[in-house]
Amino acid sequence: MTSRVALVTGGTGGIGSAICQRLCEQGHRVATNYRDEAKALAWQERMRARGCEVAIFPGDVSDPASAEQMVQAVEAALGPVEILVNNAGITRDTTFHRMRADQWHDVINTNLNSVFNVTRPVIEGMRRRGWGRVIQISSINGLKGQYGQANYAAAKAGMHGFTISLARENAGFGITVNTISPGYVATDMVMAVPEEVRAKIIADIPTGRLGKPEEIAYAVNFLVAEEAAWITGSNLDINGGHHMGW
Ligand code: NDP
């Protein structure tokens, strides 16, 4: 298997950690960003203890200059980015009639504009080299909408339009571009939801449980494979049957 350079944004989070681990185990050289150095160093140690070496660089993906510097730092240390997983994300939930402008803009900047900020500095290199994998971690709620998440659902739905356009533009350059739409996965993001709301969500999932971060990482690894070269412009739903159909 070819060892590639992989940049996973938001790698220190629940799903991001599992993606980093899985890509490491496959022999890829993995990097992520951080905003809080002390927290990131402690995370890096925990990953090392699990046998996974992840290079970490400062970077706020919602800020174009910071994202570009982060990509430059990754490429200077590890080489050109060949696999990009746009995974960093936040929620600022509230019903739209109560939503403040900062709650809207924070979510759009972090979850959608970040995709421009990080992909733009890597895409030309991928085109020149004739190989690349770009994966967006969207959400079930970008497909079906969610009460209290007009900002989040708008950003996550926007990722799909980005994916299918970028996939068309780059299909002739050995680059695949895909989206993964996870359902509810047991990470800090979902554990922050009040318990009674979480119980209702679980009751609605046909498999009767939340997803595991490793189950999302498995799909990333599938799309990254050399054999996945004909899978582009697609969306992969991973949600325990919570949302089916088109
Ligand atoms: P976590 O909250 O566990 O992790 C989020 C990660 O994103 C953290 O590493 C965080 O870093 C990073 N991050 C947030 N804002 C920024 C920023 N401005 N710049 C750089 N990094 C940032 O979330 P999950 O692991 O649960 O979610 C990962 C992705 O999966 C998100 O895009 C989320 O929307 C999506 N998703 C999650 C689902 C779930 O059920 N958990 C369901 C569907 C989609 P820091 O520690 O610095 O904040």
Q: What is this structure's pTM?
A: 0.98
| Residue with CA closest to ligand 1 atom 36 | 139
Tell me which DSSP letter residue 60 carries.
-
pLDDT in tens, the chain (246 residues): 789 999 999 999 999 999 999 999 999 999 999 999 999 999 999 999 999 999 999 999 999 999 999 999 999 999 999 999 999 999 999 999 999 999 999 999 999 999 999 999 999 999 999 999 999 999 999 999 999 999 999 999 999 999 999 999 999 999 999 999 999 999 998 998 899 999 999 999 999 999 999 999 999 999 999 999 999 999 999 999 999 987
What are the CA-CA distances from residue 234 to residues 47, 66, 149, 179 (Å)?
31, 29, 24, 6
What's the pLDDT score for residue 245?
83
Q: How far is the CA of 189 from the centre of ligand 1 (A)?
A: 7
| CATH architecture observed for domain 5-236 | 3-Layer(aba) Sandwich (3.40)
- Residue 62 · residue 117 · CB < 8 Å: yes
Per the listing, tokens 């050399």 go with: 226
Per the listing, tokens 């993964």 go with: 180
Q: Which is it for the CA torsion 162, 134, 152, 37, positive or negative?
A: negative
One-letter identity of residue 206: P
- Measured distance CA(203)–CA(237) in Å, rounded: 19
Tell me which DSSP letter residue 225 carries.
S
- Measured distance CA(82)–CA(224) in Å, rounded: 10
Q: How far is the CA of 238 from the centre of ligand 1 (A)?
A: 17
What's the pLDDT score for residue 61?
98
- Beta strands (DSSP E) in the chain are 5-8, 29-34, 54-58, 83-86, 132-137, 175-182, 235-238
ipTM over 0.95: yes
Residue 89 alpha carbon, nearest atom of ligand 1? 32
Residue of 17, 90, 202 with the most ligand 1 atoms within 8 Å of its CB, for mutation:
90
- Residue 30 · residue 8 · CB < 8 Å: yes
